[in-house]
Structure 1
């Protein structure tokens, strides 16, 4: 168990349920967002409050850059309302851009002074240019597994080209925690399945990538008892790490202590986010937000464990060949009664061709 995990007071059960557990593909990493997807994020009161509290102290008089603004231009607009001298909203999804233009038109009628300080740019953030660098950058390109949406590469590029030296990034720090679980328990005692909406998103991801593969599995509102302690396996200190460190590969080893006898068949990862240095942390397993948890099923299927066993996990993060989104790999082994048994390697690639790597994926993608 890592030092942070040992010192941390961990929940035995997940308390932050906002509804029944729902299994879906993790789609924030892919260009399949709809305006409905963005509205779910903007209606997440806790998520909005965390970012808005940070902006309230940073926006007045500043030049603000909002990366991945969505159709509501939420943070570019809110920054201007909070007194930003100017704000630039960057968005690449065509549907969101169309909605963003309508949002600006409506804002111009309602608050022309605010609208004059907001500019919408239709482009990838890594290809946009600004007339002058920004003081503050809001980057809500944070996945349910922290780095999955490419925030490291996005911020490294912004630091190099789009921001002033010493510019402040919101969020300040994101990390991913990992524990072992039983999938059926995570899903509230029902068998894993995709509903019609989830199946549609799977096909949209396959169409965007160009081929089927083992999609990452996301659980909204998990009702899980963590079978083990947890450990940190991915960290991005966005205001401290230099651009070269942000895109660097990460290797972390954690030892997870089994709490009680039972069955485990997956690792579950979740986001812990701090919007502003010195501020409170948002923990997805404690705080009810639109972020979910991510399941990484064991390649060998269920494993019986007892209290005191140790699950050893070597977690490796590598930037994929698109230069933005990471691939993840977890080598897992069980230490029980002084014997070490390898349980295989979990591969969670952004757009790899690996398919059927676990019994759960075989069943879901049949």
Structure 2
């Protein structure tokens, strides 16, 4: 595929760096990670040491101070792997959790944590979703109340979070909790692993993303210092909404990457698979359907890059990014399911790449904003 006008030689060098890392550190071992249910910490540390965990963060903390376009190139390059559990483990750390510290953290909070986050010494998770509140962030019930006693000023957190990626393995959690009676009176807090009263309720077994750990988190009178408030009290809802745009572009990149890999695998397969007296590629319906899916994928990729470019220009992109998330979440399921169909029985065999992509793609129409929610975000901005 011809390269795009949005990218620079520096972007392409980053893409090649990520490809080398995948070939060396991920693809040979990732099948074993699917069995164990998590990505080894030493692999994540090596990513951090390679400078891949802080592309948009300040140089003083080990970051590259790059823009949204660079971050998209990273996410798309990472998504050329067919092991989505590894991909989401990384993207939650880089694009969904640690940006809360980058955007809203005080100088003292950044000095304490951010260099270690960028270096891969601390892995992060974000606690927003609850058993009764997912895309409806204002509906969360986890609550925090401020107390002052002989031990000083503290916040006390109570509640439960659900479907938290990196929930078991993370060291640092950015947690949303209600701090007032209004639906949007939400604040963000920094909670360290090992804080008394904070526990992993259970690790959750999933259909896909098998090498990412996912957990239920329990907060039972968790006392944290008042200084662990992240950003302004009562403004966490807006912080979450802001960060959703970065998250959804990254998920769009993940979906496009899955489409690209599924098409590549299937083109290779139908050209060598013999049936009805010749390769499957000779069947007109197969050629034409793959051509149309490739066209849709290329169009979605262009739109994705356009969204990132608009971020760099300072535009309001909520409607565009909501469109992107809805479009790519549905497209990846169409592409991967069709490609799996063209693999016949082999497409249903565990440990084949196309079967893994099929399992992993399904959640991309759900997580990070379900398709229906995204379309409502689009519609109410007309």
Scaled by the length of structure 1, the TM-score of the pair is 0.29
Identify the structure with bigger relative contact order (alpha carbons < 8 Å, sequence gap 6+). 1
Q: Which has the higher helix share?
A: 2
